[in-house]
Structure 1
Amino acid sequence: MSKTLANLPLVKDASRRNFLKLTGAVGAAAAFTTTLAACGSSSSTAPSANNSGEVNKDLTIEAGISYSLSTGFDPMSSSGATPLAANLHIFEGLVELHPATREPYNALAAADPKKVSDTSYTVTLRDGATFHDGTPVTAEDVVYSFERVLDPANKALFAQFIFFIKSVKATDAKTVEFTLNQPFAGFGPRISVVKIVPKAIASKDQAAFDAKPIGTGPYKFVSAAKDDKIVFERFDAYNGPKPALAKGMTWFLLNDAAARVTAVQSGRVQAIEDVPYLDVDSLKSKVNVESKQSFGLLFLAFNCTKAPFNKKEVRQALHFALDTDAIIKTALLGNAAAAKSFFPEGHSAYQEASTVYNFDADKAKKLLADAGVSNLSLTLTTTDTAWVKDVAPLIKKYWDSIGVNTTLESLASAAVYAPEKVGGLKYDVLAAPGDPSVFGNDADILLSWWYRGDVWAKNRFGWNTTPEYAKVTAAMDAATKGTEAEAKAEYKKVIDIIAEEAPLYPIFHRKLPTAWDAKKLKDFQALPTTGVSFVGVGRTS
């Protein structure tokens, strides 16, 4: 265990260990390594992953990225898979989670967050920390970074993750005091979702900052082109715990799966994410390939403001109509697990839902009939991600087979979530990937992404005015305050309600295959989340 990690709150003494035990159930992201071990399903058969060579810091790292740039980089609003991965290298929080292990460590914080009371913490900044433009990081920057996320006017995606924070204030140039609305067990790991930005720059021109971000992380942003590449360079003044080990990085945005495979085979890049399942075996003889069972899922979301999708029986019918195991076998070559709960089996919060959508075409037809729905026609909107495009025709096939006339609509992510489509509740049914585990793997974060706040429940699937939604949010709040047993009981309520109501619910949780050249990269690890990380990774040749 690193010195930094060992010094984190809750690691050193018996009371802290008990606290970690509790937060494993109610929300500490540190429980993630246990989850991985329980999930298993991680296969690696390739050239040896051990690289004992010396890192050459004058070399650059090249990578093949699956997703294009669907948003900018401002960490208050960025939600695309690619900018989120980039931001792990550009920005820091006070506390960070290691991208591969999900273990927390102090980043901009000089020491562990100090618990003053159940509803008060203080954090001190590390000495000498500067932004990429050379200006020092101050407590006012930290206050601004949190306040702009909490400000309802900004409609920040991450506000629902820090709902327990009442106020943030600077007590001196390097110390910040947090006052909470309620006790929150996983305070230290959770504040990692807010990245610290320079107040003077971000507040002056947010659009410019979104396009050209400035953080404190080990790599500086150089440039980005939407469908081409992102370029980084080492931040030589970085003095934190995870310095850059390469001169720079170039991430090629290769949405085409064949192009990514060719890039890693030819040596143009040293690593690629999202290896096509058909290419896993053929790549294993040339580079390392590892598949990690993830929370990452394909979900169905319904426009609950539009008939007949406002009826749960219709939503249920469309789930029961799918032979998910056959879809997984055909489109993903077995690299996923059918959902029996909101959480995948092996997750610390997993409990089987009272409603499990096993394939039952007759039941699907009866549910539609009971709802008074016949001759249903719908448009299934999907993102244009390669593996989603493989799944979508199979969904159509099963729905067509029960008499539902299904039209497929495949769009880029930015177009899917635009006000003209899902963002404006102007759609029928959405099938899309999601993976909020990039922010942490605790139950509250994973649920909060879709079921807390307005972004999804109000603005994207229109379920926020229902009594069931109120029950879900009440149970989620109760879970963050209760004992381990109480939290488990509250999460079971949530799991059962969202499974039965299915306004947004997973079809399956998939495995994430990553490929890399271990002869050229040292200490690279495949991630159990979307994206790649080169934090602590160097090139040897």
Structure 2
Amino acid sequence: MEGLTELNPATREIYAALGAELPTQVDETTYEVKLRDGAVFTDGTAVTPEDVVFSFERVLNPENQSLFASFIPFIDSVTKKDDTTVTITLKYAFSLVAERLSVVKIVPKAAVDADAKAFDMNPVGTGPWKMTDNGASSQQVVFERNDAYNGAHPAKAKSMTWQIIPDDSTRTNALSSSTVQAIDTVPAANLATLAETKSVAAKQGFGLLFAMFNTGSAPMNDVKNRQAVMYALDYDKICKVGMADLATPATSFVQKEHPSYNAAKIQYPGQMEKAKELLAETGLKSVRLLASDHGWFASVRPIIKESLEAAGLTVAYEEKKSADVYGTIDGNPAAFDIVVAPGDPSVFGDDADLLLRWWYSTDTWTDSRMHWKGQESYNQVQELLDTAAKATGEEQKKAWFEIYDVVSEAVPLYPIFHRKSPTAYDAETLQGFQPIAVTGLSFIDVASTK
């Protein structure tokens, strides 16, 4: 599937996708995008401006509760200008229009209107690949080259199969035996062994492990308890032992390599005594900790539990699959005190506005999960997000830096570390493959000798 623009996963450069070129600015709040001539969906129907308008309205409609809506709050409307062009009208001047348009994928209105649930299971788009098996029963997602694609990045292989292999050992063995050509989330213990016969890489990115708190109920409605938990963690052991040096302790919301990095007001690593002081002040004795069961941070979970116990807390620990974690806590403030889980919205974009809005702006996270919406620090963050969105340059960064400070102090959800993305691949059979710093693998402009 394609947006009007796309972000290259490897280079992080924005490029015209379904748009014939990057958006043309008409005035401060008006942009136009001409559609790629001759573009068709994989079902054979021609792309129209009406499809583009529908796709944006589909995301922006509050009834659909799209998480992507928080990425494009600056859009007032998308309308048809003529048979090949759409006009995008903004609510206010915004400096990242081209980058942000990529989050909305253009879909055929007729197909969605006919059966939205069926479309969600077998989506149709305009990209270089078409899905022929969604993996629901086969445990593998299969794509075939879209021969009707006429964009700048055609598929360079006849087909592509993604095997769903959650087990670390099985996934590693699949590459070692050349059953597959590339794997992501390589177990740290296997990197050295794989490097003997395959190519490996571990690129630092934004992807993080976070601690999220139930700020609406005792005991985590007391910010001192939330801070105490963050101070108590043994970040050095978590990153060096638990993550085998494939992570760095968080010193801000974004990683140090991020172009909008600034050290946050509150620094948590190496502060166990501060944790004990706060716990003595609040009288907190026990917590309920719920963690997702992702294999790549399996060695981290016991260290987190041990850290909290070392601070004097009794920990009621539970571990669940990611979907079950959120199924347990969504809209249920009595279900948890602390959740530890991973996240990486940088798959959608790199700018601080997008990354911050993913967690600190949407109702799904702030209301249904953190129970933070409406609190003073929440309101402060929303005001600063709006200020930054309407600014540019250093003024914009200043507002983002203030948000980093606010969330580091209020800690409704905060990173424990930012991770490197370990990838292993067969460079002999994959031509043009590039490891990426975000979750997943990229096969844009990649050919195969198999």
Tell me the TM-score normalized by structure 2.
0.97
For the pair 1:253 / 2:164, whether they are aligned, the reply is yes
Tell me if structure 1 keeps the 8 A contact 2:329–2:369.
Answer: no
Q: Aligned partners of 1:295 and 1:513: how far apart in 2?
A: 13
Aligned to 2:413: 504
Q: What CA deviation, in whole Å up to 9, does each residue of 1:501-531 have, x standing for no partner? A: 1110000001111000010000001011000
Aligned to 2:438: 529
Q: Aligned partners of 1:424 and 1:207: how far apart in 2?
A: 27
Letter aligned with residue 498 of structure 1: V
Aligned to 2:308: 399
Tell me the TM-score normalized by structure 1.
0.81
Superposed, which structure 2 residues align to 1:108-507 within 5 Å? 108-226=18-136, 228-371=139-282, 373-376=283-286, 378-418=287-327, 420-422=328-330, 424-425=332-333, 426-507=335-416
Letter aligned with residue 20 of structure 2: A
Distance 1:407 1:245, change over 3 A: same
Q: What CA deviation, in whole Å up to 9, does each residue of 1:208-262 have, x standing for no partner? A: 1111111111111111235821111111111111111111111111110001110
Q: Aligned partners of 1:164 and 1:294: how far apart in 2?
A: 26
Q: How far is the alpha carbon of 1:203 from its aligned partner?
A: 2.4
Letter aligned with residue 158 of structure 1: F
Q: What CA deviation, in whole Å up to 9, does each residue of 1:77-116 have, x standing for no partner? A: xxxxxxxxxxxxxx00000011111101100001221111
Tell me if structure 2 keeps the 8 A contact 1:94–1:109.
Answer: yes
SS in 2 for 1:499: helix
Q: Aligned partners of 2:381 and 2:73: how far apart in 1?
A: 15
Letter aligned with residue 470 of structure 1: N
Q: How far is the alpha carbon of 1:427 from its aligned partner?
A: 2.1
Q: Aligned partners of 1:423 and 1:96: how far apart in 2?
A: 34
Tell me if structure 2 keeps the 8 A contact 1:389–1:410.
Answer: no
Letter aligned with residue 175 of structure 1: T
Q: What CA deviation, in whole Å up to 9, does each residue of 1:177-225 have, x standing for no partner? A: 1111000011111100100011111123221111111111111111123
Letter aligned with residue 247 of structure 1: K
SS in 2 for 1:417: helix
Q: Aligned partners of 1:225 and 1:488: how far apart in 2?
A: 42
Tell me if structure 1 keeps the 8 A contact 2:20–2:37.
Answer: yes
Q: How many residues align?
A: 448
Tell me if structure 2 keeps the 8 A contact 1:331–1:387.
Answer: no
SS in 1 for 2:365: coil
Q: How far is the alpha carbon of 1:379 from its aligned partner?
A: 2.4
Q: Aligned partners of 1:429 and 1:205: how far apart in 2?
A: 39
Q: Aligned partners of 1:362 and 1:108: how far apart in 2?
A: 55
Q: Aligned partners of 2:297 and 2:201: how far apart in 1?
A: 20
Aligned to 1:101: 11
Tell me if structure 2 keeps the 8 A contact 1:382–1:388.
Answer: no
SS in 2 for 1:220: strand
SS in 2 for 1:382: strand
Letter aligned with residue 157 of structure 1: L
Tell me if structure 1 keeps the 8 A contact 2:237–2:303.
Answer: no
Aligned to 1:70: none
Q: Aligned partners of 1:417 and 1:132: how far apart in 2?
A: 34
Tell me if structure 1 keeps the 8 A contact 2:68–2:103.
Answer: yes
Q: How far is the alpha carbon of 1:485 from its aligned partner?
A: 1.9
Q: Aligned partners of 2:330 and 2:57: how far apart in 1?
A: 28
Q: Aligned partners of 1:152 and 1:393: how far apart in 2?
A: 40
Q: What CA deviation, in whole Å up to 9, does each residue of 1:263-307 have, x standing for no partner? A: 000000000001100011111110000110010000000111111
Q: Aligned partners of 1:405 and 1:229: how far apart in 2?
A: 42
Tell me if structure 2 keeps the 8 A contact 1:388–1:432.
Answer: no
Letter aligned with residue 233 of structure 2: L
Q: Aligned partners of 2:22 and 2:238: how far apart in 1?
A: 46
Gap regions ≥5 residues in structure 2 = none
Letter aligned with residue 159 of structure 1: A
Tell me if structure 1 keeps the 8 A contact 2:94–2:391.
Answer: no
C-alpha RMSD of the superposition: 1.2
SS in 1 for 2:299: helix
Q: Aligned partners of 2:121 and 2:299: how far apart in 1?
A: 32
Tell me if structure 1 keeps the 8 A contact 2:225–2:284.
Answer: no
Q: Aligned partners of 2:314 and 2:54: how far apart in 1?
A: 51
Q: Which has the higher contact order (CA 8 A, sep 6+)?
A: 1
Tell me if structure 1 keeps the 8 A contact 2:212–2:370.
Answer: yes
Letter aligned with residue 361 of structure 1: M
Tell me if structure 2 keeps the 8 A contact 1:223–1:232.
Answer: yes
Q: Aligned partners of 2:127 and 2:425: how far apart in 1?
A: 23
Q: Aligned partners of 1:508 and 1:423: how far apart in 2?
A: 27
Tell me if structure 2 keeps the 8 A contact 1:463–1:469.
Answer: yes
Tell me if structure 2 keeps the 8 A contact 1:132–1:216.
Answer: yes
Q: Aligned partners of 2:332 and 2:200: how far apart in 1?
A: 40
